[in-house]
Structure 1
Amino acid sequence: MQVSWARLGDAHEGLPRLLDPVERARHDATVRPEDQARFLVGCALSRLLLGELLGVPPADVPLRRVCPRCGGPHGKVRLDMPGSPAPYDFSVTHSGSVVGVAVCRGGQVGLDVEEAGSLVDVDSAARAALSDTELAALRALSPAERQPAFLRVWTRKEAVLKALGVGLSVSPRELQVSAPDLPPAVLSWPGQLTVRPEPVLADLVVDGVHPAAVAVTGTGPGVGARATAGADRVRVVPHDGSGLVAGYGR
């Protein structure tokens, strides 16, 4: 599995030519310049990585966004290859200036990153995202320890929900994961999930400070042996996303 990281500053005028009509419309409708740049870098990095793996020009990578609830063009992005199963799944994440893409063969992947030191209201966010057990454990920590602990737990939950393709349509409070100082694992599942695959879950750190996590469901070549745990169960191949995006068309 490849995990690639790029930056907001990697956006440049050559990247919009990679976008398909749906992506271009969403890009052009985005008001805030920083949000527009995050979307552009995420789309470009996804297309450049998948184009390399599929052996096609990045602008020709067949992608499809369909919301499973309303059918709108804003669901999880997937390869659209009619008549054959998609050989790769991928997941896009961004927070602050960091943009990441994970690509996995033979499994469903979810990636999440959170900017360290962000001005998140930990108490409010924790009440919405953590189970009662997780919330009690967080409140037992010193104030200085709470934000990094919360972000570690949150990235794990978000990565798992992305890998399952359900996102925040499922309450993260009902998905309980291990404590931030323990190897990452899912401890309990939301009751409404009828399929509860054992995910391969690993913690990551971007630029030495930003917490991230990647989750994979499935048993293909992108997933390591199920007898081990955490990062040892995911063969992560780092890829210079910034260099790939910044160098396109130049």
Structure 2
Amino acid sequence: MPTPPALAPGRPLLVHGTVGEWAARAARRPGHPDDAERLEAFRDDRMRRRFRASRLLLRTTLGALCDRDPDRVRLARTALGRPYAPGLPELDFSLSHTGSLLAVAVLRGGRVGVDAEHEGRPMSVLEHRMCTPHERAGLDARGLRGAARDAELLRLWTLKEAYTKALGTGLRHPPRTFGLDAADPAGRPVPRDAAGTPLTGRLTTATHVLGGVLVSVVAVRPSREPVEFEPGSSR
């Protein structure tokens, strides 16, 4: 893969690839000992193949950022299942996959999450389960209906999924219980660092379309200022 650009503090990097491409590369390398236990747990060869592909993409990305051979990048999981890299405490990262797409987001200084979903997914049946009253009122005020409403709901869904990945809590915070907009009365849970200290700072979001897949990245950057909402690009 091309060498990633220098990772400035607080600016998330998104790297993506395909399962086929990275599974082929993984097949030419010995398995990493850190992955052995999880590989044994998979009963489906397709899941093993995707797992090895995603781990190689992640290790290659982290290795390129810290000038380290991918085989020397250790990976582990917290008690809540969130992956981290022992020996690289300055880098936070998140993974997502859907279909053949693999996505990795990396952040230096802060917490980051990424989520990917195919475009065109009907979302109206999930609206009451994923939106706060403030968010639903905003959709109504914009006059969004039908496919346009589904598209905005899917964008919001991926952003909320990415945010819970940054939190490291997963579905312990149901999406309807928090908003990303600072003006939302529902508020939102705040990530904590490895020491358990609340990580307040700027919230940055970005949404990309990659081959028919919506990929959203959410980064929380440390700051002495109050938490702010900083919408990112959508392209």
Report the TM range for the smaller structure's normalisation: 0.7 to 0.9
Equivalent position of 1:29 in the other structure: 41
SS at match of 2:43: coil
Aligned-partner Cα distance in 1 for 2:42–2:154:
27
Equivalent position of 1:238 in the other structure: none
Aligned-partner Cα distance in 2 for 1:200–1:191:
12
Counterpart selection for 2:86 from 80, 88, 102: 80
1:102 and 2:105 matched: yes
Equivalent position of 2:69 in the other structure: 57
Counterpart selection for 1:204 from 179, 203, 207: 207
- Count residues in correspondence: 210
Equivalent position of 2:5 in the other structure: none
Deviations 1:225-249 (A, max 9, x none): x9993237xxxxxxxxxxxxxxxxx
Aligned-partner Cα distance in 2 for 1:127–1:177:
16
Aligned-partner Cα distance in 2 for 1:9–1:186:
43
Deviations 1:7-45 (A, max 9, x none): 122243441546433423323432344433332222111
Counterpart residue identity of residue 54, structure 1: C
Equivalent position of 2:78 in the other structure: 66
Aligned-partner Cα distance in 2 for 1:215–1:33:
31
SS at match of 1:215: strand
Note if contact 2:199-2:222 (Cα within 8 Å) is conserved in structure 1: no
TM-score normalised by length of structure 1: 0.70
Aligned-partner Cα distance in 1 for 2:36–2:26:
11
How big is the alpha-carbon RMSD for the aligned residues of Structure 1 and Structure 2? 3.1
Counterpart residue identity of residue 84, structure 2: R
Aligned-partner Cα distance in 1 for 2:229–2:191:
25
Aligned-partner Cα distance in 1 for 2:189–2:228:
26
Deviations 1:136-170 (A, max 9, x none): 55576322223211111011111222222222111
Q: How much identity, in percent, do the aligned residues show?
A: 28
- Structure 2's unaligned 5+ residue stretches are 1-11, 193-197
Equivalent position of 1:166 in the other structure: 169
C-alpha spacing 1:23/1:149, structure 2 compared with 1 (3 Å): same
Note if contact 1:109-1:217 (Cα within 8 Å) is conserved in structure 2: yes
1:213 and 2:225 matched: no
Note if contact 1:171-1:190 (Cα within 8 Å) is conserved in structure 2: no
Counterpart residue identity of residue 43, structure 1: R
Equivalent position of 1:129 in the other structure: 130
Note if contact 2:201-2:228 (Cα within 8 Å) is conserved in structure 1: no
Higher relative contact order (CA 8 A, sep 6+): 1
C-alpha spacing 1:211/1:13, structure 2 compared with 1 (3 Å): closer
Aligned-partner Cα distance in 2 for 1:47–1:176:
32
Deviations 1:40-69 (A, max 9, x none): 22211110011112222211112211223x
C-alpha spacing 1:208/1:193, structure 2 compared with 1 (3 Å): closer
Aligned-partner Cα distance in 1 for 2:206–2:65:
25
Equivalent position of 1:175 in the other structure: 178
Counterpart residue identity of residue 203, structure 2: V
Note if contact 1:156-1:201 (Cα within 8 Å) is conserved in structure 2: no
Counterpart selection for 1:5 from 2, 16, 19: 16
C-alpha spacing 1:12/1:110, structure 2 compared with 1 (3 Å): closer
